[in-house]
Amino acid sequence: MDATTAFVAAFAVTAAGGVAAHYLVRAGAAPTRAPRVPDGAAWRQTHQRRVETFTDFAEPADRIGYIVRTWPALPPRARQPQRVEAYEHLRTLEQRHGAVMLEGDPDVQAAAQQLVEECARLVRGLDFYAPPGPLVPSLRLTQPFLAACREYLEAESERYFGLRRPAGSSLFARLVR
């Protein structure tokens, strides 16, 4: 085999290998799966997890509200255990605050921060020596937070599925009233 024929043969093999490599790379770079469509089951699991996170967060705040509401009616000897319980609920609320900050949008996060600050103010304001009196009117500490959660979850539902829920069918509707 002379040098020219060897050169042409080597060039042809190299070119064929380059073309084959080009098609292999191009085929590998092409999307191998269909575009991502929201998975209904996965979204429902995420939605349920958020609902549980938000309700778990609101529970200690409701208990703090109950303690503050009944505080004036308690005899002085019963106030110490209630105050300890209120501080425990406040710690639980502060611990669960991080999960809400990860799950919610800015409105939910702001409402959660406001709820923590309000509960901390109320718990620190419990006075052992306050004169006995009637029950404090019902406190709606969690209402702004739960309303923000409801709006966020309904907007998310509309964004994923284009669905608008009828008024009152929200998971939080019964809590916000």
- 56 CA to centre of own chain: 11
Q: What percent of the chain has pLDDT over 70?
A: 72
Give the pLDDT confidence score for residue 175 in this predicted structure: 47
Please indicate, yes or no, whether the overall pTM of this predicted structure exceeds 0.85: no
pLDDT tens by residue, 101-160: 988 889 999 999 999 999 999 999 998 888 888 777 777 889 999 999 999 988 888 877
Give the pLDDT confidence score for residue 20 in this predicted structure: 65
Secondary structure of residue 71 in the 3-state scheme: helix
Compute the distance between CA of residue 104 and CA of residue 142 in angstroms, rounded to an integer: 15
**CA dist 93 → 88, 118, 144, 150 (Å):** 9, 11, 16, 19
Q: Is it the case that residue 80 has pLDDT exceeding 70? A: yes
